[in-house]
Amino acid sequence: MRLLFLFFALLLISSCSVTRNISTDGFTIEGNVVSYKGAAMAELVGVEFALDNGKFVRELTFKLKEGSDNSVINNLIVFLHEKHPDYEIEVEIDVQHYNDLKN
């Protein structure tokens, strides 16, 4: 029984990787600007330090530049987290530029 539980636990852990199929190819950082395929995509606009549920956390906030490709935001977050693993990553999008809300 214990072996069966261990097997399912390992299977669950190995299959739950959210970032497994997300490519970070094409992203670069120069100064405070992140580019995707050579075009500026987001800029670092804030660094936050907080106490969250008794734990100190650090967060980098990036603002998506106008005209950026919303479809690769998940890829951008994974790229930035790989570069700054000790920080939480937040990406701000102006509502008028968020494609999922347009009619």
Quick one: residue 63, left, alpha or beta (phi over 0 = left, psi -120 to 50 = alpha)?
Answer: beta
- Report whether pLDDT(7) > 90: no
pTM for the whole thing?
A: 0.72
pLDDT, position 97: 60
CA distances from 8 to 37, 40, 98 (A): 40, 43, 39
pLDDT, position 98: 61
Spacing of C-alpha 50 from chain mean position: 19
Residue 36: which H helix or E strand, with range?
Answer: strand 33-36
Residue type, 23: S
Q: Which domain holds residue 57?
A: 2-101
- Domain count for the chain: 1
